[in-house]
Structure 1
Amino acid sequence: MSEPKVLSGRYEVRALLGRGGMAEVHEGVDNRLGRRVAIKLLRSDLARDPSFHTRLKREAQSAAGLNHPGIVAVYDSGEEEFVESGGSSVSVPFIVMEYVEGQTLREVLNEHGTLTVDEALNVIAGVLAPLEYSHRNGIVHRDIKPANVMLTPEGDIKVMDFGIARALKDNSGLTQTQSVVGTAQYLSPEQARGEVVDARSDLYSTACLLYELLAGRPPFVGDSQLAVAYQHVGETPQPPSFYNQNIPPAVDRLLLHALLKDRDTRYQDAYTFREDVLAARDGRPMSFEDDVEATQAYPMMTPPMTAPMAHANEAEPTPETGPVSAIMTNQEERPPQKRSRAWVWIGSIFVLLALAAVALWVYEINKPPEVIEVQVTDVANMDADEAESALIQQGLRVDRDEKYSAEVDEGKAIETDPPGGQTVEKDSVVKLIISSGPESVKVPDVSGETEEQARKIINDAKLQAGTHISQNSPDVEKGVVIETKPGDGQEVDVDSNVDLVVSSGMVEVPDVAGKTAEEACKILEGDDYRLGCKTEEVETADHDEKKVFEQSATGGNEVKQGSEITVKVAKKPPEPSPSIPSVPGGIPTAPGDDDGGDEDDKDDKDKKDKDSMGGGLFDDWSEGIIGN
């Protein structure tokens, strides 16, 4: 398991809590203070866009200056370098915030449906309190919606996500870019028209939120954001009781007043709106109900019914009840007065022109920007940084990735996706594929395997079994692999040749001449040769005694494993017996005397010969004959 990311050496990033259009929110821990936090990280695919850096920084600055129990607190912010899959680094901004247990109102609506009247009014009172505080401190939220309001298990309300908030004194941005900022279903008419917003825009969005909590849907819905924005600008909403009959008339009047198109006629501050919310909850009169002119500002609306029934039930509203009350009680409207047909036509034309102008204006500010296309540069074989720079200069965003390649050197570009030469929109993301060199694998250990099995293992490892190298071995069976070249465990390129060193089953005999019998046998029988040893002593005076002078297999010759080698060891021959010399008359003389010893020896020998042939009688006879 990989180690958790730690930001600024302090904030440990843990489980993902949720994703938004701009950022991801993770659970985290402040290791310095030991407290649980929420960490908002800019999405990695937006990290190279300076405008999103600015938005997250503005959110941190806006919320950090607001210290209210109903606003999610910001503790810290910063930037952290992240290494992308391609090896390049990118600076990602983050915000460290208060961790809030609970659910967003969007989750509550999805899981439980609409709230009761009292619950909805209490929630909105909880939203308006922190908004009053932020407005007093010069900050407009500009994106009040169910997903940005949390309800804790204790029933507390927390407003969060000041991502598009702006100071009241800051008039830049919207009018310059002519862009609509916010979420379509909760846009105020001035936001939809691209005008500078103020605190009253937040109050309109809060009214849209209350409407959805009660009716189960926003006041305006449509097939597109443009259609919804158009309705905010030019249409009057149905009272929420049209969708939920349990809503009392006082709440209808409250919401229709809060949703007036002209911001000068609806609620001017969060405090007054909140007081009226509590008044409607408690059955007390609301602030605008004492103002006859204000109550008469409501447009006439009727619930859907057939045309004859509608005219039958229409009645003229009185100053005491106002038009909203007339709608609620389905009273009859006074008969229409006769008017000049010309004025009717003129009025109709003006209305049509006004609607056409509004429609054109809404289309202009929301029409898609002009598409600028560029042709992707062919960056094959360029250095990685050089290739990325070339693509960025074209106005493209680059996402690096790596791929093994035996044809392209490591660190150079292989290709792009889309490929070079293809036309794409400017600011598109182009994947840049960088070579990480040839794919390498480890040589498998095939020692002890038969050559056939070893070749199969090597080929299965994306390598090529190469040359058969025969090698003598004292203990590896014939035909079995001793080792590989390169050796096992070494990193080599895919499809490299790996030679096999295979046992021949033979052993090269060592030369033990001149060794003693014990030394010779120790060498032959040792681990290097593992041969048998037989000694044979031979009497000879021609070689050193007790030394090997001959062996049955000459040193350097090859024999089968375990063969027996006979070594001949020199043995000293026995000494010859010494001779005893004699002298005439039978008196022995010492050898070496100079008194005719050699001659005496000869005579003695002759005498012995004679004795062997017949003894002294023959000798005497022969001497007599000779003497005569």
Structure 2
Amino acid sequence: MAPVAAPAHPFILGWVRIDWDGVWPCDGLGTGMAVVPDSGAIHGRSKLLTVDATVADPVIGRLLDGRYTAQERIAVGGMATVYVAHDNRLDRLVALKVMHPAFTHDEDYLRRFQQEATAAARLNTPCVVSVLDQGRDHGPSGPVIYLVMELVRGQTLRQLIGSRGRLTPTEAIEIIEPVLEALAAAHNAGIIHRDIKPENILLGHDGQVKVADFGLARPLNQATHAMTQGVVMGTVDYLAPEQVSDGSASPRSDVYAAGVVLYEMLIGVLPHTGSTPMSVAYQSVHGEVPAPSAAAEGIPAELDALVLHATARDLDMRPADGTAMLDELHRVLPYLPAPAAGTVHTAAPGGGVHSARGAGARRRSRPRATAGFALGSRRSPEWRYRLLSRRFRGRRPVLAAVTAAVVLLCGIVVASRALSGPGTAPVPPLVGLDQAAAVQALTDAGFTVAYDEAATSDTIPAGKVMAQEPDGAVRATRGSTVRIRLSLGRAKVRVPDVATLSVAEAQARLTRQQLNLSTTPRTEANDTIPAGNVIRTEPAVNTELAAGAQVTLIVSSGPAMAVVPNVINVPIATAQSQLGALGLKVTRLDVNDETVQSGNVIRTSPDPGQPVTRGSVVTVLVSKGPVDDEDRGDLVEVPNVINQKYQNAARELQRRGLRPERNGFVFFDDTVVRSTDPPPGTKVKKGTKVTLTIG
């Protein structure tokens, strides 16, 4: 199994990417550089994963286009898988990058895949990972889209920084120079890389430094926005301010990323850090990259100036492109201190460093190295120092005079500053930092702190700095006061009273109060508030919430329902108790009945088992016992006139000697009887009133 280093940057501002720190940083298509990592532990921000080669892989052992045979899987990304493959035609090992089958029919991914190949193929420089071939093969499960790339054995700059920490200025220059050569070639060819970072800088065993991953590259003659469907593309730690703020990208954006990489090599950490990617992006837009010498000793002022020039917030203040920054690097080289002579550093097998001194050390002096990359194997700064020393050997008297003049001038400046006061220093950017970190930064820079009244903010969390005076982009006198304002978080608002309102009216009132309605209101039965209207809110009325918080509405579903119990043949007192316990009202009607004991319930209206709203009236017919013989001839049965027209029902009751009484209004001729009281089938005396409810 081949070891694969895990992602170093879990957050990518834009669509999801997986950065394979030691093998192939993903470019949105899966991977983007061809480097086989060293075995053993990977230190720093990387972790070690393994790709199990024993798992069945239909590509391994397959012959693509009659030429390339995949031998070993070395990396699996979100959009592609990378293999070590054998080029049967030229008998060499190459890196084979195969797009996942799920994306072979997506025109957008196919376009990016093609773009990576054409962008790298247009660059004629040894400082870029070469694209050797591109093709499409047809298999039983569909097309196989692939790229063939140069196989680089070594490690990434991320692994070097992770294992070593900060590099010496000489080592940093030796690495950044070929990176700038690659950017110069790309910019001269009209290509913006857009994703320069240590994961995309390869350090080969042979000392070659190569830039990889042109999956995000864009031609200069196309729209240079660093966005896809409104989402910023790239790695947040290295994005230029304009890429974060408006999504635009240019050669100066690559220059900014190269400056951040140079800073990280010199210091061992990034210039902007934060608990979330958004806080890093905020610092990039609103804060300056500090001078490396402010964080570590031994960094020449010329390198400070180069880093600050490359990472200026204003893009017009940066070098125009990779060529301009490379020229600036070459201009400052004569003024950088030469590396110590007489020391030979070699890479130990486990990544350690061995030293030897004395006349017996015949090999050329080189800076330190780690396993997988021999620093000094290229045209190192040390080589240039010796060349420059020979070039200026005949000018030593002139140089001595100039040096004396410079020393005298420096002395005058130092004396002037000593007499004039403590001098000035850059005010550190504080916005987004918590109170303790802001105070520590001001104290370290030689300033005192004062506080303005805290205020609410929709963007800065509570307890963090939301404003400062002076701003973090100016210089101020050491010892002077910097005023900061802390955020109270989002403004507090009170929950309004929306009881009895409709849901739409309640939502409008909550919106005016800068509160949001939760997705689904809850319902509750209520006897007084109509169905569909608000009963109450959660949280309750007058509760203080942050603006934008969610409020849940409790909405009435109408009166509570009850089921008429079966109280037939039950004593009337017991029936009244049961019905009353359910919230129902009772109307009693006494009638004669020969089958039900006197005082017991004959029937109810509505019938038992019927659902009714609480508070409804239930008519209970109570038995008076059998009819006396003398009264038996006067009894008549209430006819069933339900669903008959009112006029017909009334005539039928009158025909039987009963008195009809209407409950309701007759609006139309087809108005019908809905119920009768007493109910149909009840025997009553002639002349009894029968109430007809119509509708």
Question: TM-score, structure 2 length as denominator?
Answer: 0.41
Flag the structure with higher helix content: 1
Larger Rg, first or second structure (1 or 2): 1
